[in-house]
Amino acid sequence: MTTHVLVIGGGQNPEHEVSLASAAAVSAALRMGGHAVSSVTIDREGFWRADGIPPCDSAAESLGLALRLIAEADVVFPAVHGALGEDGALAALVALAGTRLVGSDLRAGAIGMDKWATKLVADAVGIRTARGRLVAADDIGDVEFEGEVVVKPVSAGSSYGVSLVTEEDELLGALHTAARFDRRILVEEVVRAREIDVAVLREAGGIRWAAPPLEIHAPGLFDTATKYDGSARFTVPALLDAAETSALKRAAIAMFDALGCDGVARMDFFLTDEGPVLNEVNTMPGLTAASQVPRMFAAAGVEYTDLVARLVAGARVPSSTVPVSML
């Protein structure tokens, strides 16, 4: 029986274009694999655009019409990165509709998108993170921090609003930059170490496994420009010894489980002499064939079309609570 997959792309955040690329690649791969695919795009103003949705006077009206597309699909694949997508907003909508979802549910998406909450979860399961503090945008003028720091919005993706501060007089500008993307700001000490990503996949049968780690080689801070201008290089599999690989994979799966992730998630680490230091979590990472996650699984022998098919096969109706029927 052919599975009908609704792929959602776009979104109301700075990662809109990246999301469109992920959605287009996912749709093409699913069609190659024999799935029936329909697509919907959320534009920058929040309007849902798709065949069958007439022009609407409001974003809410377009969403109401799009609910029929969600209800008619066997599986929803929300390839929307960042706020109002990856943060659990779309997972909640799909859960209310009772449709199977590719990826993490509301709870995992919301916590994973919140870098401060992620640090607390990591600490609870014994995974190190960089020393840092939480700053409210209203308190920017009172912030002091010694040494080099990284300033970032608490909830934003693709390194938007992230700055490396090496001089004291740079701090205020960096805080204001981060505040453009979130009212909560994270100030962290700089970790000088190798940058290693690890992708974890949950298969349809429930088994979770980590792909070979990938190392990022960037001329400086792996910021938004570096991520998309082609100046960064990747080595996959990363050149690691067996103990380093094992430690990274254990930490990645531990975070995947602690957050309650589903589908695929990418865990970004710094590898220090004392072991892995978690940087952040991506519960809906970039998913073009050239993105980091597909590269890692390709190194494990799972080609792009197979990876996307496995994600659809493992889709479940998202829920963060026990169904009433089970009580």
Q: Is the pLDDT of residue 180 over 60?
A: yes
- Here the tokens at position 157 are 């993706």
- Closest alpha carbon to 261 in 107, 99, 81: 107
- 257 contacts: CB under 8 Å, gap ≥ 6: 208
Give the integer Cα–Cα distance in Å for 153 and 156. 6
CB neighbour burial string for 59-68, b if at least 16 within 10 angstroms, e if fewer: eeebbeebee
Give residue for tokens 């052919």: 2
Using pLDDT thresholds of 50, 70 and 90, give the confidence band for residue 221: low
Residues 80 and 136 grouped into a single domain: no
Q: What is the mean pLDDT of residues 297-324?
A: 86
Residues 135 and 124 grouped into a single domain: no
- Closest alpha carbon to 317 in 22, 144, 71, 51: 71
Residues 239 and 262 grouped into a single domain: yes
Using pLDDT thresholds of 50, 70 and 90, give the confidence band for residue 154: very high
Task: Please count the helices (runs of H) and the strands (runs of E) in the chain.
Answer: 10, 16
Q: Mean pLDDT score of the chain, rounded to an integer?
A: 91
Within a 13 Å sphere around the CA of 95, how many CA atoms are in the beta-carbon half?
Answer: 17
pLDDT of residue 71: 95
For residue range 96-114, list pLDDT tens digits in order.
999 999 999 999 999 999 9
Among 47-56, 162-171, 214-223, 243-252, the least confident range: 214-223
Question: Angle at Cα 291 formed by Cα 306 and Cα 123, nearest 5°?
Answer: 100
* 137 within a domain of the structure (yes/no): yes
On whether the CB atoms of residues 196 and 145 are closer than 8 A, the answer is no
Residues 231 and 272 grouped into a single domain: yes
Burial of 315 (C-beta count, 10 Å sphere; 0-12/13-18/19+): buried
Give the integer Cα–Cα distance in Å for 19 and 32. 20
Using pLDDT thresholds of 50, 70 and 90, give the confidence band for residue 190: very high
Structural domain for 258, as ranges: 111-128+192-313
* 33 within a domain of the structure (yes/no): yes
Among 248-257, 289-298, 317-326, the least confident range: 317-326
Residues 217 and 124 grouped into a single domain: yes
Give the integer Cα–Cα distance in Å for 301 and 211. 10
Q: Is the pLDDT of residue 189 over 70?
A: yes
- Which DSSP category does 264 fall into? E
Q: What pTM was computed for the model? A: 0.91
Residues 252 and 223 grouped into a single domain: yes
pLDDT of residue 229: 52
Across-strand partners of 269? 196, 278
Q: Is the pLDDT of residue 327 over 50?
A: no
Say which CATH number the domain at 213 has.
Answer: 3.30.470.20
Residues 124 and 135 grouped into a single domain: no
Give the integer Cα–Cα distance in Å for 98 and 311. 18
Share of residues in the chain with pLDDT > 70 (%): 93
* 323 within a domain of the structure (yes/no): no
Residues 28 and 93 grouped into a single domain: yes
* 321 within a domain of the structure (yes/no): no
Asked, as a colleague might, if the bond just before 276 is cis with ω within 30 of 0, I would say: no
pLDDT of residue 160: 82
- Which DSSP category does 212 fall into? P
Give the integer Cα–Cα distance in Å for 199 and 209. 8
Q: What is the mean pLDDT of residues 48-61?
A: 94
- Which DSSP category does 155 fall into? S
Residues 217 and 182 grouped into a single domain: no
Domain count, the chain: 3
Share of residues in the chain with pLDDT > 90 (%): 79
- 125 contacts: CB under 8 Å, gap ≥ 6: 254, 255, 258
Q: What is the mean pLDDT of residues 196-205?
A: 97
Higher-scoring residue by pLDDT: 144, 3: 3
Residues 160 and 224 grouped into a single domain: no
